[in-house]
Structure 1
Amino acid sequence: MSLLVDVFTADESGESRFLDVPEGSSDLAGFESWRTTVWGSETVRALGARFFPQLAGNHLRVAPEDVPEFIDEVLLLQNNIESIAARMDSPKPIDQRTGEIADRLNNIRDAAQRASQIGGGVQIW
């Protein structure tokens, strides 16, 4: 099973409306096991991340007003991919782990930027 990243807006009644993933984009946000082994890992927590570690317990919902700070956190993780990948408990080579994390962070950043442009939020589940 995979984690997915989606952009949402609220309609007039306050209900969330999830937007379609545009062509050329991906909604993949990592493997289910990454809730604890990557996004909720001690390495990510030690970097000062506050959004991603929430995935260790549930899904992550970033309110529209928090999207700019969430984008900053994505950039923080992108700048530290090698140390995150190096500390993963995985039999895969480190360059493969680094590439997988980079791909998923790019997808997440793309969704967050789309959300920012329309005043929407981001959900990873």
Structure 2
Amino acid sequence: MGRDRVLARGNELEDFLVRREAVGHRITQVAGHAFLEDPDYGDTLAGFESTRTRLWGSEGLTALGCRFFPRLDGDDLYVERNEIDDFLAEPETLRPHLDRLADEGCYDTDHVTARFASIVTTALGAKAEGGGIVVR
């Protein structure tokens, strides 16, 4: 069973190379887009594949009015740079409910909190770079 990754996507590959090469980030090109990658392959984990349905695509999460996270149930999540502010508003709705969502999905609260923080941190980094994110 694989793990989902959250990747920050920016505007210009050259911009990434200048800003990130010194801190050890690799650049990956996918379908003409440049992505920053976590060099330790840990800080950007969004959860196991089952997390897509049991957590991010759960009825409890959808009932909270989320529109971005539920897209992970069956598909990758693409948040374009012009949507990043709307996306970042969604975690503020979810944050007070992480314990309940963890229980409903049969996950440990620490696990859910860490995966949630990973996504939010990556989105904040993407916003700072003028980009979006992909959870795949």
Structure 2 unaligned regions, length at least 5: 14-30
Structure 1 unaligned regions, length at least 5: none
Give the structure with the higher percent helix: 2
Deviation at 1:21, TM superposition (A): 2.3
Find runs of 4+ consecutive structure 1 residues off by over 4 angstroms. none
Residue 70 of structure 1 pairs with residue 87 of structure 2: yes
Aligned-residue CA RMSD (Å): 2.1
Question: TM-score, normalization: structure 2?
Answer: 0.79
Matched residue of 1:48: which SS? coil
Residue 15 of structure 1 pairs with residue 32 of structure 2: yes
The aligned counterpart of 1:86 is 103
Question: TM-score, normalization: structure 1?
Answer: 0.85
Per-residue deviation, residues 49-97 of structure 1 (Å, max 9, x unmatched) = 1001001021000000111111111222222101211212x3x6xxxx1
How many residues were matched structurally? Answer: 118
Q: How do residues 1-125 of structure 1 correspond to structure 2 at under 5 angstroms?
A: 1-11=2-12, 15-21=32-38, 26-88=43-105, 90=106, 97-125=108-136
